[in-house]
Chain A
Amino acid sequence: MSEWTRPRHLPEALEILAAAPGPYRVISGGTDLMVESHLAPERRPESWLDISGLQELQGLQITEEGIRIGAATSLEAIRRHAEVVAHWPMLAASAAVTGAPPIQNRATLGGNVCNASPAADNAPALLAYGARLEIAHHRGSRWLPYGDFHQGYRKTALQAGELLSAFWIPYPPKHSRGYFRKVGTRAAQAIAKVSIAALIEEDSDGMIQSARFGMASVAATPCTLPSVSQYLLGRALRDIADAQVRQRVGQDIAPIQDIRSTTEYRLEIASRLVLEAIHRRSESKKED
């Protein structure tokens, strides 16, 4: 039988992890891990470290620069938080389409990211908003841009003894607009086939000052679109060639065929969504 430890304070949890980093599996809401544990009992860990009791990992705090969200904050709390809804609507939206309400009640933002699924529902919004991660260790914390967190399929930058403790998300630039869309296998309780969050900043002349994209289910990890962003920088909307964007989307993502969708569909829909995100405010009607 497995051992279950539920510390009350972060230092205690970090001590436990530092002392025996190997066998512990960190769990909070358990909405992914419990399913896996049921389906693959042979992969059940010897010891569970339950971080749902750590006050330090709970809640949302607004500051002048942005918002701090504790890693073990539930998606339900995030999607209903007035400041999140007002300033980071794509995050509120992605939390609201993660699983369904019963899952959102238990699932946490940190868990969604640490589970490291390529289809993680909240990853695109965090990438587009330029989130940073606070990673705790008993010897001290470090900061990491979220874009550097996913290092390969189901592989994260977390080192032995480390625990993801919080997200820092800056306010979006003043003249920016967001676009979020999850294309799932159905309207609720769905795993994404493609999802996108985009944050595009334009100056008063309609020049793109910055464009940041986050996508899920189109590569081995949630990913950004560096060459698309690069292409858009300093361009006016009317000067953007859709074919150029499509080509760069193809460079930036590596979709696969799996049980949920096809490579062709993912690539095509990813391109359409990126173009939709870019052009949504422009007047020109596009055919599909």
Chain B
Amino acid sequence: MSLTLVKQRTDQQTASPRRVDGVAKIRGTALYVDDLPCADVLHGATVRTTEAGGTLQEVVFDPAIDWSEFVVVTARDIPGMNAVKLLENDQVVLVDRAFRHAGEAVVLLAHADPEKLRMALNGVSLVELPNTAPIFDIDAALAAQHEIIPGNIYTDYLLDRGDVAEGEHLADVVIEERFLTPSQEQLYIEPQGMLAHLQKDGSILVEGSMQCPYYVLDALVQCMGMDKDHLRVVQSTTGGAFGGKEDYPSVIACHAALLALKAGGRSVKLVYERGEDLRVTPKRHPSRTLIRLGANKAGELQFIDMDFAIDGGAYRTLSPVVLSRGVIHAPGPYKCPHIRVRGRAVATNHPPFGAFRGFGAPQSIFAMEVAMDRLARKLAMDPAELRRINLLRTGDVNPTGDVVGADCFAHAALDVALEHTHYYHRLAEYRAWNAAGHQTRKGIGLATFVHGAGFTGNGELHLASRVSLQALANGHVEILCSNTEMGQGAATTLVQIAADALGLPMDRVHLAQTDTSRVPNSGPTVASRTCMVVGDLIQKAAGQLLQRLRETAALAVSHDAQSFAAACTRLCAAAGDALVTAQYQPPADMRWDEQAFLGRAYASYAWAAYIAEVEVDVLTLATRVLDFTAVQEIGNAVHPVIVQGQIEGGVAQGIGYALYEDVLWNERGVMANDRLTNYIIPTSADLGFIHVVLLEGGLGAGPKGAKGVGELPMDGPAPAIVNAIQQALDIDIRQIPVRPEMLLELTVSGGN
């Protein structure tokens, strides 16, 4: 067993300082956007299209309402470009004529009295000429005569290594399957919202809930037609995001700014009610995967052939990037000479889908991992054994053609997971239980996977992130970066990294408020990159600061907080520049071919093996997760308790994805179950025990070998749970969520 290579954590508590944002959140003094004090504020609201695409003929304002009381904004009021700044300018800020889905913003209203505003919303009628045949399904979009965009395909990628035909020739056993995954709502606790102020100097300040302040700034520049110096974006305390506040805050910020511009100096608050948030903001891409796997009699994979398609919704937004991560992660952590993954992001008349923890990987990994169990069964082989035969080792070539280096812990993760769960013992125990005819059936299922941290391929190179540290005369240090605390613990982790690198206690280091007028662009807070990429920049900047203090302010090589403070005082008094900045440099061996999907896709991969143990009630067919074991090698756990929280939370969302969460659509393609009573996420009573095991090989690209961890736990739960249920009931499952209604269909019609 390769356990000697990795360290297993046992000191979670002692190595984990208190969260820097903890007290304010526990005491309720942290200010979320709806809490920000603001005198004489106007409330904003949005009139939206109701048809699933079409043309807007006319906007009719009820003459019974005195519209002079209201601030009214339409597309004609946009001073800059009527397009939301993202990969492509295909999505309008406000509908002028053509539109592609129900729920697109047409008219913005603001009034001081929320009650009057509510009445006025009903006083605006839109005359819409609907499209004849809206499209809501991936395969229907690919086959449709009616085109939303040419071919209804935003992006078409191909990862093609080796020769699948050759692999087919070598395979003794082949399986073929079709898998579906649904959309999923992020369900952050705080709904989205923005507060915009027109300042006396004509500049605009927008505050609100967001992940990526510089995305919002860029969107404002384009929509408002103003330069960066006249726009300022400040992140307020953000109550959860999970990707849901990556792109859409740009839309709300533009809307709030447009209202504020016309409101003549009064601030405008645009905060969504939960239902509106659920209906219009982006969610996880639904997917459809056709997969074929072939292996020889020994169980060695000979080919992987996948056709992976995701529903991008009505505009391109982030779909190409989601797709690329989905394609790269699709073949999993396996050694296989012949791999073909075709990936397509498809246009439909749903609202655009967007970022959500995992970003395309949970969808394709689901298909791959359930297919692996199918293959194991056809080979009459234990699923763990099939994985052991195929998991990558150092020196192997990975699916994108890169030679795997020393930072490879796929086998270690699997071994620890099997040992931790007493996998083979449980397997026998559950088989005996199921044979005894009890009121429940039990199963144990596995998923092994990797997750790449940071932007894909050359993404980090293009971002060219910068981080600054500002030493103050009193010996305190401020971190200036654009990465946001949104509940995940980044503020604490980043302060901890800086304090550690500077040799200071944590209370001497502070994360500056994320304000684009002050902090440099260190990239968006996405892609499991903050701790690894930005943390590494902080460490580098800390090295520069120490060097400057040593060279120009006589800081001793060995210092304490007091001598550090004295050196800072000297530096500042000498009017020396106490600000240092570090900029991202890619690792020397980072080579990625974006066209061919070949090379090193990520600076670091985290390795994982997840095991689900489930119990299905024979009477009601409800599935309960008994125990969930998450083993992952993440390089270095900077703050073990925060890491554990990230993994437990991700597993909880993964259990929701597997068993409960189902976005239902009405006939216009809008989320129908838009309330917390009918969009079902698991509660603490539904989760079972989650056992987190951290392995730390210390070879990642981040501080002390840390790797990204945020998204990883979303990848494994759904396939592990589905594999466990298949085993418990001896059925084939091709779709999530596995609701009791679906199991009834499968067990009554199929072979129970």
Interface residues, chain A, CB within 8 Å of chain B? 39, 41, 100, 183, 185-191, 259-262, 264-265, 268-269, 272-273, 276, 285, 287-288
Contacts and interface: CB of A to CB of B under 8 A. Distances in A.
A275 to B, nearest CB: 9
B620 A183 contact: yes
A140 to B, nearest CB: 39
Interface string B423-434: 000000000000
A152 B437 CA distance: 41
Interface stretch (B169-177, B573-581, B676-684): B676-684
9 smallest beta-carbon distances between A and B, as pairs = A187-B685, A188-B685, A288-B618, A265-B741, A187-B686, A185-B680, A188-B683, A259-B678, A262-B741
Nearest to B118: A41
A260 B677 CA distance: 10
Interface string B669-700: 00011010110101111100000000000000
A272 B677 CA distance: 26
Contacts of A268: 744, 748
Contacts of B745: 264
A187 B660 contact: no
B382 to A, nearest CB: 27
Contact of A261 (B686, B741, B748): B741
B619 interface: yes
Contacts of A269: 619-620, 740, 744
B275 interface: yes
Nearest to B664: A259
Contacts of B619: 269, 272-273, 276, 288
Contact of A265 (B624, B686, B740): B740
Interface residues of B, number: 28
Nearest to A272: B619
Contacts of A39: 275, 675
29 contacts: A41-B118, A100-B683, A183-B622, A185-B660, A186-B682, A186-B683, A186-B685, A187-B624, A187-B683, A187-B685, A188-B683, A188-B684, A188-B685, A191-B678, A259-B672, A260-B678, A261-B741, A264-B741, A264-B744, A264-B745, A265-B740, A268-B748, A269-B619, A269-B620, A272-B619, A273-B619, A285-B437, A288-B619, A288-B752
Interface in B256-314: 275
A187 B655 CA distance: 14
A283 B683 CA distance: 36
Nearest to B682: A186
Contacts of B752: 288
A188 B678 contact: no
Contact of B683 (A189, A191, A285, A288): A189
- Looking at B622, B664, B675, B748, the one whose CB has the most chain A CB atoms below 10 A away is B622
Contacts of B683: 100, 186-189
Interface of B: 118, 275, 437, 618-620, 622, 624, 660, 664, 672-673, 675, 677-678, 680, 682-686, 740-741, 744-745, 747-748, 752
Contacts of A188: 683-686
Contacts of B680: 185-186, 190
A215 to B, nearest CB: 14
Contacts of B686: 186-188
A260 B672 CA distance: 11
Nearest to B619: A272
Nearest to B740: A265
A185 B672 CA distance: 16
Nearest to B119: A42
Nearest to A1: B115
Contacts of A100: 683
Given A39-B275, A187-B683, A285-B437, 6 more contacts: A185-B680, A188-B686, A265-B740, A269-B620, A269-B740, A272-B620
B160 to A, nearest CB: 42
A210 B340 CA distance: 66
A182 B437 CA distance: 23
A187 B672 CA distance: 22
A281 B437 CA distance: 17
A265 B685 contact: no
A269 B621 CA distance: 9
Nearest to A188: B685
Nearest to B624: A187
Given A186-B683, A189-B683, A259 B673 contact: yes
Contacts of A187: 624, 683, 685-686
A265 B618 contact: no
B678 A186 contact: no
B685 A191 contact: no
A257 to B, nearest CB: 10
A178 B330 CA distance: 52
B728 to A, nearest CB: 13
A108 B89 CA distance: 54
B274 to A, nearest CB: 9
Nearest to A269: B620
